[in-house]
Structure 1
Amino acid sequence: MRKGETGRDRRPNLVLILADDLGFSDIGSYGSEIETPNLDRLAAHGLRFTQFYNCGRCCPSRASILTGLYPHQTGIGYMNGNHGMPGYTGDLNNRCVTIAEALREVGYQTWISGRWHVTPVNPSHHNWPLQRGFDRFYGTIHGAGSYYDPVTLARGNEYIQPEGADFYYTDAISDNACRFLEDGKADQPFFLYLSYTAPHWPLHARPQDIVRCRDRYLAGWDELRKRRYQRQREIGLMESGWPLSPREPGVPAWEQAKDREWQALRMAVYAAQVESMDRGIGRVISCLEKSGRLDDTLILFASDNGGCAEEMNPKLRGIHLPEKTRQGCPVHFGNDPSILPGPEDTYASYGVPWANVSNTPFRLFKQYVHEGGIASPLIAHWPSGIASRGGFCRQAAHVIDIMSTSLELARATYPAEVRGCPVLPCEGRSLLPALQGKPSEPRILYWEHRGNRALLKDHRKLVSRAVASDAGKWELYDLTDDRTELRDQAAAHPEEVKVLEQLYEDWARRCGVMPWDTVNDRPIATDTSS
């Protein structure tokens, strides 16, 4: 351990901030009109990655972030339902180690505030945060839920009820993170996992926050998307040769859209959710500043998948939806133009058109492994460790890299076994060289979610959709000049497709990836809502 004259352990702290269903362009420093001054401040004094990837869906991404493995290797190849196959148990297995487990072993304090979502909701606590390396936990075990009355809200190993009539989950996550920081030992480094549910549906925001955003989206999704793309080019985020992908098929031009005021309000509530999260992040930054720990803390901010195009329908009802509010009023479930989103007695989403805006300039959404589903912002802020301020890192990186980054930061070793069980080798690589401006070595990255498949080898990307009219057909793109995936080269390069496909198949066998039809035919033992 590196200690100063006072005996304080001088190893850097780590704050990992994860947004939920936040699109690539949904914060100001990535082109958005949504006001995120605290994240923008981190970007201005840190480093922005232009090609950082998640796993395309909430709990698979969270499993990979925590372990440095691909989702199927952890048992969470799909969601939290048990499909009876090793890669699809829906529960962290005993062949992986979490960042918290690895860092606590070498003297770090470990805390999580927010969404867990890597174990089913059942009576067993074997994979709750305190059982997987965290010293303190406040948040929800399950994924989505009401921001006013979240189900599976817990502290430590006990379920609890929301406190106070003005309870709002995003604020509670931020406030508990600050409490952990204030209560922590000043002479010991820490790992804080700040895992927001925002801005995942439902569209829940405080009235005063909605008012600030209410008129911002009356210009419509076409205009807002063009403005974001233009800002991305102006700030240097986008390479000039990347065209803006077309409006999603089936989405009308804004001028032909019905219920335009209601449509604009949906996005306004979503923006209010993001802005509330940003204010909470600001409070966490203030806590670090007041304690004198900001300069020696690596802060990473990312999203677990791209913007979500899901429309609310009765099939999505699950344990995450209370039938009534805390006051006993029925909850109105669905996207109904006669019901304004935002209050506790509503349960709505912002839908395909606005998700298309969130993922500017890319196409497709959460659950797909085209760029719109897997491209995430990544902001890295570390005053004592990043020399280049306000710039961009254009190296490809992935959430599997966070484990290796954490270990190098803490001067820790990846374990060979945990609790007597052998651990799979880490799949990621440390981001610290990238933060220091060093070039990266060539690598191959892989994805599979719900039958959607992809491989990225240097700048060549092989990708397919499971639900397209030509389901399973490979597409091939050169991301150097076609990051928005508009010029398919598969027909022109059949031999290259074969080579890359074989690499994908080898990886799939190694990591326990099964054909989606096989997985989907198995009965599900647990709720799988997102």
Structure 2
Amino acid sequence: MPRDPLRILLLSLALFSVLGATSRAAEKPSRPNVVLILADDLGFSDLGCYGGEIDTPHLDRLAADGMRFTQFYNGGVCRTTRAALLTGVHPRRRNRGRLLHPDMTTLAEVLHAAGYRTGLVGKWHFPQRDVGFPVYRPTDRGFERYYGIAEGCCNYFDPSLPFPLYDKGRTPVPFLDGTREVHDFPEDYYATDVFTDRAISWLREFAPAARSGERPFFLHLSYTAPHYPLHAKPTDIRKYRGRYAKGYHTLRRERHQRLMDLGVLPPGTILSPPDPDGGDFRYDYAVPDWDSHPQQSHEAKRMEVYAAMVDSLDQNVGRFLEVLAAEQLAENTVVIFLSDNGGCASHAGDRDRDVRQQVLEYNTPFDGGKATHDYLGPGWGWAQNAPFRRYKVWTYEGGIATPMIVRWPGQVEAGSINPWIGHVIDFLPTLMELGEAPFLAEREGIPTIPPEGTSLVPAFRGETESRLRFLHWGLYGNRAVRHGKWKLVWGTSREEWELYRLDTDRTETVDVIQQHPNQFRRMRDSWLRWARRTGYPLESDRL
């Protein structure tokens, strides 16, 4: 049968048209949604995918489907991390120490101006009620939706309750629902669950426009868990009874080995020993020997409740991700998870042994319910960050290194581990690139400080070598600067500089400052310039 060239041509054009339409229909919207999940006081090795023994199957699955970072840094303490994460710049300490200023633009403001829907649930930590200084609420700084606590922590079962024996019965800062204060909470309230409920409701509200590509969304889940007070549901606590009877020294050794087995840390990584002074010279943070500890049972219960809080956090992340998938949004959503600082070694009465004894008596028996109030303490707070030194507010790796997981289907290699050196100041330029969002060079007529970080998108797509740059920290007298393989640290217990090669000594066990005087001076001078630029106090420094 003779072929008709014209008919063949027309059939071919029709087929190409159908295939092209099918291909276009299958294409994802050009700009991804972004979910940024921030845990509070979670240690480097608390998650199962980072060597922990706590049950975290949902976050472990997120890691299996995405990328784990091994050298990602936060700001070392809650508020500095949030300021840097939100603004893309190192905190500026001015106006009585406040960290969020009118000349800083937030990532929510940038993304909202570029057409994103925006919401923040959980911890804000910038109440800023000082006379003569702006009182910022999240809805003032780019978030359309907000529900959560303006301050740093609260009673998980009833946020209206004050903290007994803590700062003389500290009065809680009210919750906000948008701009409305919330003072009444139902009997079955648990903050981690309710934060997730609210985030899910916003997700469903934003979903139709996101699916169509009309308006993507940015949701920031800023949990208070597992920050003190140690509050968890009885069903979660029961899972961990007896699991910590061997103590925190054994826990550190076991986590250290698993981190190497998982490939998060290289074989041969040394487990750092206890710091010789035991802790911060200003307060009593000494880590007691476990075998001779006079209150082993109470200590073990603290960690049982803490583990239950992390378990609950994981359950809630899983609930959120399940709805994300059900709404057919998972394929075009970048999900990021990290912690705001290392594990916390605080304990009530750290400045006063008499107060500590009162707290111990108040919390006996200790059940993790709303009528108790306790902290994790220095032993477990140190073990959370295995194999590193120190914990929250210190600038050794235990204070500033964070687990960081990124899932981005089709862009991030599933199950990958990346040694890229990153910092929370990198999130603003990263989201600007992902969202095709220009930086806002001014807000309310005031020129804004440009981003100081670099985009993480190359790392998401598999690059492992970050741009060589100086990263700096300064917290309560502790300070540090990292430059490539080198890290310079000043700790308040020694009050002198220490230099480490992190490519061969990630756990900061061998001080090489005497062997590399030029490297020391170069990094010290960089830190001094940074401190002057950001307003970090130098009056008492002996450099």
Which residue is equivalent to 2:456? Answer: 431
Q: CA shift at 1:69, angstroms?
A: 0.5
Which residue is equivalent to 2:315? Answer: 279
Distance in 1 (alpha carbons) for counterparts of 2:518 and 2:270: 27
Distance in 2 (alpha carbons) for counterparts of 1:163 and 1:517: 46
TM-score normalised by length of structure 1: 0.88
Read off the aligned partner of 2:85 and give its amino acid letter: I
Which residue is equivalent to 1:13? Answer: 33
2:82 aligned residue (35, 53, 62): 62
Which residue is equivalent to 1:522? Answer: none
Distance in 2 (alpha carbons) for counterparts of 1:45 and 1:425: 33
Tell me the alpha carbon deviations over residues 408-454 of structure 1, each in whole angstroms, 9 at most, x when there is no partner. Answer: 11011112111111011101111110011123221111111112111
2:186 aligned residue (164, 173, 184): 164
2:523 aligned residue (494, 500, 506): 500
Distance in 2 (alpha carbons) for counterparts of 1:21 and 1:447: 17
| Percent identity between the two aligned chains | 41
Q: Is the 8 A contact 1:34 1:271 kept in 2?
A: yes
Distance in 1 (alpha carbons) for counterparts of 2:369 and 2:24: 51
Which residue is equivalent to 1:134? Answer: 143
2:499 aligned residue (451, 473, 476): 476
Q: For structure 2, list consecutive stretches of 5 or more residues without a partner in the other structure.
A: 1-22, 160-171, 210-214, 279-285
Distance in 2 (alpha carbons) for counterparts of 1:104 and 1:5: 26
Distance in 2 (alpha carbons) for counterparts of 1:122 and 1:167: 31
Distance in 2 (alpha carbons) for counterparts of 1:127 and 1:251: 39
Tell me the alpha carbon deviations over residues 56-93 of structure 1, each in whole angstroms, 9 at most, x when there is no partner. Answer: 10011001010100012xxxx4xxxxxxx34x532511
Distance in 1 (alpha carbons) for counterparts of 2:25 and 2:501: 53
Q: Is the 8 A contact 1:153 1:162 kept in 2?
A: no
Tell me the alpha carbon deviations over residues 79-111 of structure 1, each in whole angstroms, 9 at most, x when there is no partner. Answer: xxxxxx34x532511111111100000100000
Residue 490 in 1 paired to residue 513 in 2?
A: yes
Which residue is equivalent to 1:395? Answer: 420
Structure 1 333/116 Cα, relative in aligned 2: closer, same or farther at 3 Å?
farther
Tell me the alpha carbon deviations over residues 327-351 of structure 1, each in whole angstroms, 9 at most, x when there is no partner. Answer: xxxxx97344733140111110110
SS at match of 2:269: coil
Q: Is the 8 A contact 2:128 2:135 kept in 1?
A: no
Read off the aligned partner of 1:360 and give its amino acid letter: A
Which residue is equivalent to 1:320? Answer: none
Distance in 2 (alpha carbons) for counterparts of 1:335 and 1:353: 16
Q: Is the 8 A contact 1:34 1:275 kept in 2?
A: yes
Correspondence list, 1:47-446, <5 A:
47-72=67-92, 77=93, 85-86=94-95, 88-121=96-129, 126-150=135-159, 151=172, 152-187=174-209, 188-248=215-275, 249=278, 250-313=286-349, 334-336=359-361, 338-386=364-412, 388-438=413-463, 439-446=465-472
Tell me the alpha carbon deviations over residues 168-213 of structure 1, each in whole angstroms, 9 at most, x when there is no partner. Answer: 1111111111111012252220000000001111101111111111
Tell me the alpha carbon deviations over residues 140-159 of structure 1, each in whole angstroms, 9 at most, x when there is no partner. Answer: 00111211122321100011
Residue 43 in 1 paired to residue 63 in 2?
A: yes
Distance in 1 (alpha carbons) for counterparts of 2:442 and 2:217: 23
Structure 1 7/357 Cα, relative in aligned 2: closer, same or farther at 3 Å?
closer
Q: Is the 8 A contact 1:405 1:432 kept in 2?
A: yes
SS at match of 1:407: helix
Read off the aligned partner of 1:219 and give its amino acid letter: K
Q: CA shift at 1:163, angstroms?
A: 3.2
Structure 1 333/158 Cα, relative in aligned 2: closer, same or farther at 3 Å?
farther
Q: For structure 1, list consecutive stretches of 5 or more residues without a partner in the other structure.
A: 78-84, 317-331, 519-530
Read off the aligned partner of 2:54 and give its amino acid letter: I
Q: CA shift at 1:493, angstroms?
A: 2.0
Distance in 2 (alpha carbons) for counterparts of 1:423 and 1:122: 22
Distance in 1 (alpha carbons) for counterparts of 2:98 and 2:360: 29
Structure 1 490/143 Cα, relative in aligned 2: closer, same or farther at 3 Å?
same
Distance in 1 (alpha carbons) for counterparts of 2:358 and 2:490: 33
Q: CA shift at 1:495, angstroms?
A: 2.5
Distance in 1 (alpha carbons) for counterparts of 2:539 and 2:82: 21
Count residues with an aligned counterpart.
485
SS at match of 2:420: coil
TM-score normalised by length of structure 2: 0.86
